[in-house]
Amino acid sequence: MKVDPSVIYARERDQNDELSDYRNRFVIEDPNLIYLDGSSLGRLPVSSLHLVNDLVRNQWGDRLIRSWNENWMDLSRRIGSKISRLIGADPDEVVIADSTSVNLFKLFVGALKYNAPRRKIITDNVNFPSDLYILKAAAEITGTDFEIISLPPTDEFSVTLDTFEEVIDEDTALVSLSHIMYKSSYMYDIASITELAHRYGALMLWDFSHSVGAVPLNCQADGVDLAVGSTYKYLNGGPGSPAFLYIRENLQSQLVNPLSGWFSHKEQFLFDLDYVPATNINRFLTGTPSIISLALIEPGVDLILEAGMDKIRRKAESQSEYMIELWEEILEPLGYTLNSPREVRHRGSHVSFGHPDGYRIEQAVRDEKAVISDFRMPDNLRFGITPLYTTYEELYTAVRALEEITQSKSYEKYSTKITGVT
Ligand SMILES: *Cc1c(COP(=O)(O)O)cnc(C)c1O
């Protein structure tokens, strides 16, 4: 059955949406703005507004240094344990620290040393660039012998299991992949690739930056060794909020943290000059966390736990399906391609449409239609679907905005030169 391309239909879907009330839990300053970029920077939860006041005025302003013992010292672990529920891990397997890039560095070096003298590292070239840069840096600093094999996709969007099977062997130290691709939204099958890595004794690291808070995850059931993820995307933690890292329980005491600081010491406040690493997940901490930013992760995580990942995923599936049906009906005839998997089980929570003038169109819908998406080279217009606040009507209006901009060619007055954040 073809989708009904009318706003009335979109509104009906919103009326029947079991998660619709959650939109009120976010600050919506401009009701006319259609924000489809929560996959890059999530919206501000209302409760974060209240928390920031308490944090700054009371916890910092009034309680001062006493707040470390009263609240701050265990925040990295306490909020980490909430995130553990979103990734199917134990509370003591997750901690918040640093950025995703820095955590990748620490875990890469730890994994490569652990699996010495194995020398092969497997990844793919649709991974997020920072993951690949850091992998190279970590390999170079760990030894001279490593070979990074960055596989190109062997089907439409991803590397097939067969291809991984051809390259993973007894010499493989580490397989490192992003679970959901930042451009195409393709979603790998965690269990089968992890199982393959383990068959040959390699460690498996997953980057959940585009997955956590977007799709249900189960590190324990899938046997995941190591993982990292961003908190400012689907978790709504705020700009640059620190990332999380996960280490399987029985690996924690065996990996070496190359950025060992006083927060990873077994007994930090002895101020002992000899470094003795913690044997638990704290081993992968480094220094003092950015408390304000760290504390502000909690309200967004609480909202997701309250709504439930299964409901969130169900709505995201239905909304991305809807958007793709609208693409088929309205945008495909105008020259847009679908740059995301057509099959929902292979797709994360954002949808990419391709257009040769994508970057100019992204600017035009932003400035002329108040639709915020983002653009990724060479031609991807990305639309993040964040079910706690994205409505069907927004998706409908965004597609109509693309249609109008494309038909009127009003995007032609914009520059093709990429500047600033997109
Ligand atoms: C967003 C994202 C990052 C970001 O890393 P930062 O260190 O927070 O800048 C890294 N990897 C992937 C896969 C991402 O999607």
Among 209, 228, 232, 376, say which to mutate for ligand 1: greatest number of ligand atoms within 8 Å of CB.
Answer: 209
Is 33 in a helix, a strand, or coil?
A: coil
Is 113 considered catalytic here? no
- Concatenated DSSP letters for 176-207? EEESB-TTT-BB--HHHHHHHHHHTT-EEEEE
Among 178, 182, 188, say which to mutate for ligand 1: greatest number of ligand atoms within 8 Å of CB.
Answer: 182
| CATH top-level class of 7-46+308-413 | alpha beta
**Predicted local distance difference test score (pLDDT) of residue 421:** 82
**Predicted local distance difference test score (pLDDT) of residue 420:** 83
As beta bridge partners, residue 231 has: none
Q: What is the DSSP secondary structure assignment for residue 269, as one 8-state letter?
A: G
**Predicted local distance difference test score (pLDDT) of residue 1:** 58
Phi, then psi, of 20 in degrees rounded to 5 = -60, -30
**Predicted local distance difference test score (pLDDT) of residue 419:** 81
Ligand 1 lining (C-beta closer than 6 Å): 99-101, 128, 130-131, 178, 182, 207, 209-210, 230, 243
**pTM score, whole prediction:** 0.97
| Gap between the Cα atoms of 246 and 380, Å rounded | 31
Is 392 considered catalytic here? no
Nearest atom of ligand 1 to the alpha carbon of 233: 1
Which of 366, 382, 383, 411 is catalytic? The answer is 382
Domain definitions of the chain by residue range: 7-46+308-413, 74-305
Is 22 considered catalytic here? no
Is 345 in a helix, a strand, or coil?
A: helix
Is 131 in a helix, a strand, or coil?
A: helix
Among 41, 103, 126, 128, say which to mutate for ligand 1: greatest number of ligand atoms within 8 Å of CB.
Answer: 128
Q: Which two tokens stand for residue 180?
A: 């959901």
Q: What is the DSSP secondary structure assignment for residue 245, as one 8-state letter?
A: E
CA of 308 to the centre of ligand 1 (A): 24
Tens digits of pLDDT across the chain (422 residues): 579 999 999 999 999 999 999 999 999 999 999 999 999 999 999 999 999 999 999 999 999 999 999 999 999 999 999 999 999 999 999 999 999 999 999 999 999 999 999 999 999 999 999 999 999 999 999 999 999 999 999 999 999 999 999 999 999 999 999 999 999 999 999 999 999 999 999 999 999 999 999 999 999 999 999 999 999 999 999 999 999 999 999 999 999 999 999 999 999 999 999 999 999 999 999 999 999 999 999 999 999 999 999 999 999 999 999 999 999 999 999 999 999 999 999 999 999 999 999 999 999 999 999 999 999 999 999 999 999 999 999 999 999 999 999 999 999 999 898 888 88
CATH value of 74-305 in 3.40.640.10, 3.30.1490.20, 3.65.10.10, 3.40.50.10800: 3.40.640.10
| Gap between the Cα atoms of 276 and 278, Å rounded | 7
